[in-house]
Structure 1
Amino acid sequence: MHCRWLTVAVLLLSVGCAHSKRAPEAELPKYEHVFQKPLAEALAATRQLLEEQGYTFEETEDPNQLVTTWSEPDRAGSRNTTYTRYLVTGVSVAPRQSVVRIFRMTQQAAGNDVEWKKVWWKVYMERWEQEANPFVKEVDFGQDDAMTKRLSMLRGAQHGTRDLDLEQALTLRLESAPSVEVLAGNAAEEKRPTAVRAPEFYLERWKDELPAEGPCTTSVRGLPELLHPGLTLLIGEQLGSNEAPDVVGHVVCQAAQTGLAVVLGLSLPETEQARVDAYLSSPGAPADQDALLEGRFWTRTYQDGRSSRAVMDLIDRMRALRAAGLRVTVVAYDTDVLNGSERDAAQARVWTKRRATKPDEVQVVLAGNTHTQMQKGTQWDPSFTPMAHLMKENRSLIVLDMSYAQGTRWGCDLDRDSKLVCGIVGATPAPAVAARPGLSPYIQMRKTSATESLQGLLYVGKLTTSLPALLGPRMAPPTDPAQAPRMPGRDQPLPGIF
């Protein structure tokens, strides 16, 4: 397939708009979605999506285009046939930003029985038609002028429409996958990034006096109906956003304000517990913040969102709640030396053992959404047993999926060379958890059977990126995506993911 032909096809699409019937306005894209991915990676995912649906591809001279082979005629033998194919065009907006458009191309071929003189000739040509490909460049037309004209017709104008269903499927594939968590274990570290210690780096809550209305400024609708002594609230999130830690902070504050003892579980390695405890008992001044961030977890090469600025702020908020007299604490319940089901089993043991010694405490556990699923198995490990599944015998367990509107977050992903790269990525919710932006936080419960743990949604709003804590307090990514901070990959095996 020559690039010249593709250019002509696109031009024909443009010119034909003035004379063809437009698609309903509801079916037209309102805007172009920009993936936080290099164009090569976005196109590779598009190719995989179409291959899974049985399509094959032709070679193109333009690396930013994909073209599937023409489909078989839907009315073979009638000489009135429709051929279809997919044309994918990619646009590189920035080194790590791209747009992908998927067109479903159709072309109709019309026959005329008057041209054919004898029945036996018609039968012969119909058999030939079922085996021939009218789009092959080199075709032996023979001496038949009618056949030459007919093949020329097939090379005429084509029609294309955006396949929005496929584009949505591509968006979900690229932007709604579970968050990747990087376990450093005993891997050798590269030189750590230089910590920013300018005055504007530090959180300033330690300077503020307690507001007259109390420490809890935002209520989460639907939470009071769930609160009771001994509640375990397991909340799954997409890592690296500002919104999830912020709303979880509201949940803890609202629960503690009722007089209940509340423990917040964060997916930090247990080796960070001593630093967390020291910080919770400190004034939270700059020197205290420096001490909290000295741990390897905050300074490791791969920052996967669990060590974000928003998480640091959530810990500081718990310190402030304790200073205000509320009964809250923080537990670092994760491990950095186990992988897969063993890691989740260790996480679950932390909470089952704590429940046995503190039966009335309210547990609010924040975790990546892979660990909070109730069923066994993932795409990469059918035998994977998540933490939530191991905790389901707890009759006071409530599992909440994060509901959110499309935005961005900080996360890690494998590039085309299977190297881990961490940075700003897109966040598109699956339909089951999608919601419009601008609403106040709320909990919405789902119907479950009498034998299942209660499950629901925690709405947090449109996601925005929370950078790693050591990168400072910037509230938004740079205007130029090419300048967005990123953690580079390494040419060595990863110590572990999930």
Structure 2
Amino acid sequence: MRWHWTLGLLCTGCAALSRGLDGDPVDAEPTPTVEKILRVPLDEALFVTRRLLEEQRLDVFEHNDTKELFSQSWEIGVNVRGNRTFERYMVRGEEVGPRQSVIRIFRLQYREAEAAVEQQMPEPGSEKTNDHRYLHERDPFARETFENVPSLEGFKLRRGIRDLPQERKLLARLEMVPSLELVGGKASIPVRDVKVPAWGPESADAPPRCGEAVQGVEPLLVAGQTVLVADPLGTRELPDAAARMLCDATARKLPVALALSVPSVDQAALDEYLASAGSGPDLERLLVLSDFFRRVDQDGRSSAGVIHLIEAARRLRTQGHAISLVAFDSNGASGNAREEEMAKNLIAFRQANPDAWLLVLAGDVHVRTVGVDWDSKFEPMGARLTKALPSSPVKALEVGFTRGIHYACRFNVWQQVDCDVHGINPTAEVRQEPDTPRKVLLFAGPGQTGFHGRLYLGQLSASLPVLQRAARAPEAPAVMHGAVTAPGTTAAKPSPW
């Protein structure tokens, strides 16, 4: 059954939102210094651009021979005949790769010029001298730049500029969208066919590679604390930061638990791997026992980054630390039923382990500690935890980052589920300055969306599903976590933990 037909199995907006639900971040973004490559096919990018202009009540037509769109023209102000100015949009698309494109939106300006005025030369020192030089001597664009641009009878093209506000609106449409979490589904690879290469050259008792410090996390490392983190899904950076937080918590001799958005039916498989030597056969057995990592269509919750995080927890346990894994997600529920089941599983763990430091990774909407403004009846998992555990402190962190890519599932312009590497762009509120370290910033109090602070991750890079179908191959393996290989699948080279 096709995913986009099985609406009951989809949870729209459950994953981390990179665009806020209250406010337009478009004009707050700094002026770009390089072209932004969109992680969508060119035809989809042009389709969304056309829709964007048509929503502004502009008729749009396409050049027959080029990947260009032109809008109808409109007059700037109200002027007498012979002194009128009109503008129109021109859109140029460029295909960079199979799923990569660049869209440039220009605002073209046409100026009405009667023949007698064009031929008149202003006197030296005249106030019209500068205008004359601009119109007659300065060539603002090379001819090839605006070749074959439609003309307006009686008007001449005066200038053209990149319309950055429109391009930012387009970017918001394409990259500031919620991801989908695909609940349920069948395993894609028969159990007998799973083949996993060696997990790594290190010994079974090798210590975890904790990575760079997460600044400002110390106030959260308290016994009995529950920390909810909004996972953007399918990135390297969030699992890496989570591994470091596990290292810091165990260094303080705290009993630690890592809760993952994995169906609770896979709890036994996680426990078995946690107690294993972490070898290739052990990892193979985990993937054999868990259908979650072998689904036909996988979202970012089953990425190689998550497997690396599970391995980090195993290595910490091997070093003698008290650490456990919690699978708390539902295997088929959606909406409030799913939130209730997730909260129930975490509450049960907390009641049995009141002193454990609990790190929970889930989508943005799930971890909010208050309700949502678009559905008064929807109660997120985080809100349920806060209500049910008044004596156990619960802190929720949203994520801040700079523009990058992640592996996620979204609806494309044809309303089909598209699971692939996508661009992800932050809102102005959570945008992180380039070349700044990852850190935790705690607020004075919870915000309107129920977050108590923000975890800054830096530039995001994609982590592919741990198992992939042969139909797709990674486009940029240098910036993605490695994936293990099964017969008939393709995978990037595993990166060392």
> Which of the five TM-score ranges fits, normalised by the shorter chain?
0.7 to 0.9
Alignment match, 1:6: none
User: Do the aligned residues in 2 keep the contact of 1:402 with 1:458 (CA within 8 Å)?
Assistant: yes
Q: How does 1:426-445 map to 2 (within 5 A)?
A: 426-445=423-442
Worse-matched range after superposition: 81-90 or 430-439: 430-439
Alignment partners' CA distance in 2, 1:209 and 1:296: 28
Q: How does 1:182-331 map to 2 (within 5 A)?
A: 182-184=182-184, 187=185, 195-199=194-198, 202-207=199-204, 209-210=206-207, 216=210, 218-294=212-288, 295-331=290-326
Please state how far the C-alpha of 1:429 moved relative to its aligned partner.
Answer: 1.9
Over residues 273-316 of structure 1, what are the superposed CA-to-partner deviations in whole Å (9 max), with x where a residue is unaligned?
11000011111111111111112111111121111111001111
Alignment partners' CA distance in 1, 2:153 and 2:274: 78
Alignment partners' CA distance in 1, 2:212 and 2:478: 30
Q: In structure 2, which of residues 404, 407, 411 is the aligned counterpart of residue 410 of structure 1?
A: 407
Change (3 A) 1:191 1:283: closer
Which structure would you say has the larger Rg?
A: 1
Q: How does 1:56-95 map to 2 (within 5 A)?
A: 56-62=59-65, 64-75=67-78, 80-95=83-98
Q: Identity, % of aligned pairs?
A: 33
Over residues 145-192 of structure 1, what are the superposed CA-to-partner deviations in whole Å (9 max), with x where a residue is unaligned?
xxxxxx8432x22421111122123223212322221112xx456566
Alignment match, 1:344: 339
Alignment partners' CA distance in 2, 1:292 and 1:247: 23
SS in 1 for 2:154: helix
Please state how far the C-alpha of 1:77 moved relative to its aligned partner.
Answer: 5.0
- State yes or no: 1:332 paired with 2:331: no
Alignment partners' CA distance in 2, 1:113 and 1:477: 58
User: Do the aligned residues in 2 keep the contact of 1:398 with 1:453 (CA within 8 Å)?
Assistant: no
Q: How does 1:114-193 map to 2 (within 5 A)?
A: 152-154=153-155, 156-184=156-184, 187=185
Please state how far the C-alpha of 1:476 moved relative to its aligned partner.
Answer: 8.1
SS in 2 for 1:157: strand
The TM-score with structure 2 as length reference comes to 0.74
Q: In structure 1, which of residues 388, 392, 397 is the aligned counterpart of residue 394 of structure 2?
A: 397
Alignment partners' CA distance in 2, 1:240 and 1:450: 26
Q: Which residue type is aligned with residue 433 of structure 1?
A: V
Q: Which residue type is aligned with residue 388 of structure 1?
A: G
Change (3 A) 1:370 1:85: farther
Alignment match, 1:19: none
Please state how far the C-alpha of 1:74 moved relative to its aligned partner.
Answer: 1.7
Please state how far the C-alpha of 1:221 moved relative to its aligned partner.
Answer: 1.2
User: Do the aligned residues in 2 keep the contact of 1:409 with 1:466 (CA within 8 Å)?
Assistant: yes
Alignment partners' CA distance in 1, 2:211 and 2:347: 31
Alignment match, 2:445: 448
Over residues 371-429 of structure 1, what are the superposed CA-to-partner deviations in whole Å (9 max), with x where a residue is unaligned?
234554487x6754322233343562211112222222212223343332322222222
Alignment partners' CA distance in 2, 1:303 and 1:404: 24
User: Do the aligned residues in 2 keep the contact of 1:399 with 1:456 (CA within 8 Å)?
Assistant: yes
User: Do the aligned residues in 1 keep the contact of 2:343 with 2:384 (CA within 8 Å)?
Assistant: yes
Alignment partners' CA distance in 2, 1:403 and 1:357: 33
Alignment partners' CA distance in 1, 2:266 and 2:186: 19
Q: In structure 2, which of residues 361, 364, 371 is the aligned counterpart of residue 366 of structure 1?
A: 361
Please state how far the C-alpha of 1:225 moved relative to its aligned partner.
Answer: 2.1
Alignment partners' CA distance in 2, 1:191 and 1:325: 35
Change (3 A) 1:308 1:206: farther
Alignment match, 1:31: 34
The TM-score with structure 1 as length reference comes to 0.74
SS in 1 for 2:218: coil
User: Do the aligned residues in 2 keep the contact of 1:37 with 1:96 (CA within 8 Å)?
Assistant: yes
User: Do the aligned residues in 1 keep the contact of 2:205 with 2:277 (CA within 8 Å)?
Assistant: no
- State yes or no: 1:423 paired with 2:420: yes
Alignment partners' CA distance in 2, 1:375 and 1:217: 33
Q: Which residue type is aligned with residue 436 of structure 1?
A: E
Alignment partners' CA distance in 1, 2:345 and 2:30: 50
How many residues get paired?
A: 412
Over residues 221-250 of structure 1, what are the superposed CA-to-partner deviations in whole Å (9 max), with x where a residue is unaligned?
111123222211110021111111010111
Change (3 A) 1:383 1:166: farther
Please state how far the C-alpha of 1:84 moved relative to its aligned partner.
Answer: 2.1
Change (3 A) 1:27 1:447: closer
- State yes or no: 1:102 paired with 2:105: yes
Q: Which residue type is aligned with residue 159 of structure 1?
A: R
User: Do the aligned residues in 2 keep the contact of 1:192 with 1:301 (CA within 8 Å)?
Assistant: no
Alignment partners' CA distance in 2, 1:264 and 1:288: 19
Alignment partners' CA distance in 1, 2:403 and 2:30: 19
Q: Which residue type is aligned with residue 308 of structure 1?
A: S
User: Do the aligned residues in 2 keep the contact of 1:465 with 1:476 (CA within 8 Å)?
Assistant: no
User: Do the aligned residues in 2 keep the contact of 1:392 with 1:453 (CA within 8 Å)?
Assistant: no
Q: Which residue type is aligned with residue 108 of structure 1?
A: R
Change (3 A) 1:451 1:407: closer
Alignment partners' CA distance in 2, 1:477 and 1:39: 18
Alignment match, 1:138: none
Change (3 A) 1:478 1:253: closer
Q: Which residue type is aligned with residue 163 of structure 1?
A: D
Alignment match, 2:459: 462
Alignment partners' CA distance in 2, 1:217 and 1:265: 20
Q: Which runs of 5+ in 1 are unaligned?
A: 1-25, 115-150, 486-498
Change (3 A) 1:453 1:356: farther
Alignment partners' CA distance in 1, 2:479 and 2:463: 17
Q: Which residue type is aligned with residue 349 of structure 1?
A: K
Please state how far the C-alpha of 1:463 moved relative to its aligned partner.
Answer: 1.5
Change (3 A) 1:235 1:77: same
Backbone CA RMSD of aligned residues: 3.4
Please state how far the C-alpha of 1:58 moved relative to its aligned partner.
Answer: 3.2
